[in-house]
Chains A and B, each alone.
Chain A
Amino acid sequence: MSLVSAAFLAFVAITALIYYLVPGGARRWVLIAASLVFCASCGFYSLIFVLLAAVTTFIGGMLSGPSKSKGLRNAAAVITVVLNLGILCAVRYYGVIGLFAENLNKIFGATASTNTFMYYVVPVGMAFYTLQLIGYTLDCRWERTEPEKNFFRYLLFATYFPYFTSGPMNSYADLSVKLDGAKDAKFSLERLRDSAIRIAWGFFKKLVIADRIAVIVNSIYGNHEVYGGLYVFIGAAAFAIQLYADFSGCMDVVLGTSHLIGIEMPENFNSPFLAHTIREYWQRWHITLGGWLRDYLFYPMLRTSAFVKIGDVSKKLFGKKKGKKVPTYFGLIILWAAVGYWHGGLMKYVIGTGLLHCFYIILGELVEPISVKLRKTLHSEKMPYKIFQTARTFFLICLGHIFFRANNVPDAIEMYKAIFRPFTINGEWIASLGLDTGNLIVLLISFAVLVAVDIYKYREKQEEEPRLVLQTIASKPVVVAWAVFMLLAVAVLIFGMYGLGYDSGAFIYARI
């Protein structure tokens, strides 16, 4: 079931209705039932694999707890992590079809053909819940959380339907407390109103912006041998906007749905394209994935004896100050290769969303002494320099997106070469991008709304809470809030990209 569909809205409405009608103690069971139905609706494999992951990480967590012997705890944690990561990597690489006999597919009526792209046969949500559930087992091993004794309490954490397909990622310690608190959640018109606005905003971003700008993206990337020069950049920038509107729109639906149920999820985006540096961009984009990788991969890796030894050797070779950065650079390379691989088991992802960003960050560190002087000379505290930084960061991200969106690495390289081809901009070429004038105007206006909202939310220090538009709306007379909702709903109904043969269900990150 897609999060952007009438079926999902009906599903949420029915679930919420039953949820608030039953006594508080029974609400957990309503959510478990709804979550299992939702997982099953995402496909047979989705349900089977999430149950497998839930059972193995639950047992792994129990055996990794402090009451067991050290040997057993280490073995349980390692086996659980290797098993679940192994399944994820194998499925990511071969697809489910490659792992199971065709006969099994026939028995269960699966129709995915063997020659489709692998993400079509990767069970929905797998990349998200695998990391999240591995995190739980590691938390038990590292004594960050007590092993859960009640399997059904854990099962709800594993399958909770709003975030099942695309996150955001939560730690068990945080979310289990919130899920327990669901029994006391009170229904109110304010809750319904805020959820409705947030979900409508997500639909707006996905159906009005992402699916519309996708037409331009598909035209340029689908015919990269024709489009050269500035068009390559238009394609790359358009894909960056599509990806953002798509993924953050999905998160709006998730957070809005969960708010309706009375369970608050962490934000995953904080005006990412206003970041001044690549490092800052990753602190604003897909925030919960960054947090997971930092807590469960990067920091633990830096504390291993191998990295400590690398640090010792490099300090002797390069001096204390420079030498202690060497293990960090090694760690960053492994971290970013993992980020890239997580986005898809193809080299284009490993480069475009991984190693290229790693290169940017390490290069930025190495030229920092020059940058310090440059910033002083160019008055970095002033607005023009900040605008330059934001534009430069966006440009660098777009260069990576050429790899991300291109069919493969050779195509991406062809597109880089095409940047230097002569080009003309005229009405005919713009028309060839696939959108007529009316659609282009709708796109520009809706994109302007998105930019305005992001600028309003923006806080220069990323650790500061963004200014929430919903809070601002809530502070106005109630009619304003419902007017905003109606405006968004009407915009979605009139300007949503329906009937053009697009699969609006296919959120890009739900296929990861």
Chain B
Amino acid sequence: MTRDEVFVKLNEIFQDVFDDEDINVTETTTAADVDGWDSLEHINLLVAIERGFGIRFTMGETTGLKNVGEMVDKIMAHLG
């Protein structure tokens, strides 16, 4: 899967979790840019990403992510 393909799929997951079809995530998107992205919704988002990509994050990977770009780095590392 290329980085662009990961972004396309990830964007669909964001739109589904936050119930907003106008969301368009980029490398620099942060929690502050997405309405409703609080710590609880972050857990729902992680579960949806794990399911969508068929991967499993370690707990250490789920905290301290600076932006969506870093999230994509982690997803790509799991996809190999």
Q: State the A residues within 8 Å of B (CB).
A: 138-139, 142-145, 294-295, 299-300, 302-303, 308, 311, 320-321, 324, 328
Question: A299 and B43 in contact (CB under 8 A), knowing A144-B63, A321-B19?
Answer: yes
Which residues in B have their C-beta under 8 angstroms from that of A294? 39
Asked if B32 is at the interface of the complex by the 8 Å CB criterion, the answer is no
Q: State the B residues within 8 Å of A (CB).
A: 19, 39-40, 43-44, 46-47, 51, 58-63
Instruction: Pick 5 A–B contacts, CB within 8 A, sort by A.
Output: A142-B58, A143-B60, A144-B60, A299-B62, A320-B19
Question: A303 and B58 in contact (CB under 8 A), knowing A320-B19, A321-B19?
Answer: no
Which residues in A have their C-beta under 8 angstroms from that of B63? 144, 295
State the CA gap A324–B48 with chains docked (Å). Answer: 12
State the CA gap A299–B60 with chains docked (Å). Answer: 12
Which residues in A have their C-beta under 8 angstroms from that of B39? 294, 299
CB closest chain-B residue, reference A296: B59
Question: A303 and B47 in contact (CB under 8 A), knowing A320-B19, A321-B19, A328-B40?
Answer: yes
Which residues in A have their C-beta under 8 angstroms from that of B43? 299, 302-303
The 6 A-B residue pairs with the shortest CB-CB distance, nearest first, are A142-B59, A143-B60, A144-B60, A302-B43, A143-B58, A142-B60
**Contacting pair A324 B58 (CB below 8 A):** no
**Contacting pair B47 A308 (CB below 8 A):** yes
From A300, A308, A321, A328, B59 is in contact (CB under 8 Å) with: A300
CB distance from B66 to the nearest CB of A (A): 16
CB distance from B43 to the nearest CB of A (A): 5
CB distance from A271 to the nearest CB of B (A): 22
State the CA gap A300–B59 with chains docked (Å). Answer: 7
State the CA gap A143–B19 with chains docked (Å). Answer: 32
Which residues in B have their C-beta under 8 angstroms from that of A143? 58-61
Determine chain B's interface SS by DSSP, over half rule: helix
Determine chain A's interface SS by DSSP, over half rule: helix
State the CA gap A143–B61 with chains docked (Å). Answer: 8
**Contacting pair A324 B44 (CB below 8 A):** yes
CB distance from B69 to the nearest CB of A (A): 21
CB distance from A364 to the nearest CB of B (A): 14
State the CA gap A250–B36 with chains docked (Å). Answer: 37
**Contacting pair B60 A303 (CB below 8 A):** no
State the CA gap A294–B46 with chains docked (Å). Answer: 16
CB distance from B34 to the nearest CB of A (A): 16
CB closest chain-A residue, reference B58: A143
Which residues in B have their C-beta under 8 angstroms from that of A138? 59
State the CA gap A144–B57 with chains docked (Å). Answer: 12
Most buried by A among B19, B47, B58: B47
State the CA gap A169–B43 with chains docked (Å). Answer: 23
Which residues in B have their C-beta under 8 angstroms from that of A328? 40
Which residues in B have their C-beta under 8 angstroms from that of A299? 39, 43, 59, 62
Most buried by A among B19, B51, B60, B62: B60
CB distance from A307 to the nearest CB of B (A): 9
CB closest chain-A residue, reference B16: A320
Given contacts A143-B61, A144-B63, A303-B46, list 9 more A-B pairs with CB under 8 A: A138-B59, A142-B58, A143-B59, A144-B60, A145-B60, A299-B43, A302-B43, A311-B44, A328-B40
Which residues in B have their C-beta under 8 angstroms from that of A320? 19
CB distance from A76 to the nearest CB of B (A): 16
State the CA gap A295–B60 with chains docked (Å). Answer: 10
Which residues in A have their C-beta under 8 angstroms from that of B19? 320-321
Which residues in B have their C-beta under 8 angstroms from that of A300? 59
CB closest chain-B residue, reference A324: B44
State the CA gap A142–B59 with chains docked (Å). Answer: 5
Most buried by A among B43, B46, B58: B43
CB closest chain-B residue, reference A300: B59
Most buried by A among B39, B59, B61: B59
State the CA gap A142–B47 with chains docked (Å). Answer: 16
CB distance from B58 to the nearest CB of A (A): 5
**Contacting pair B44 A144 (CB below 8 A):** no
CB closest chain-A residue, reference B42: A299
Which residues in A have their C-beta under 8 angstroms from that of B61? 143
Which residues in A have their C-beta under 8 angstroms from that of B44? 311, 324
Which residues in B have their C-beta under 8 angstroms from that of A302? 43, 47
Which residues in A have their C-beta under 8 angstroms from that of B62? 299
Which residues in A have their C-beta under 8 angstroms from that of B59? 138, 142-144, 299-300
CB distance from A242 to the nearest CB of B (A): 32
State the CA gap A303–B61 with chains docked (Å). Answer: 13
State the CA gap A308–B45 with chains docked (Å). Answer: 12
Which residues in A have their C-beta under 8 angstroms from that of B58? 142-143
State the CA gap A84–B59 with chains docked (Å). Answer: 21
CB closest chain-B residue, reference A328: B40
CB distance from B14 to the nearest CB of A (A): 15
Which residues in B have their C-beta under 8 angstroms from that of A142? 58-60
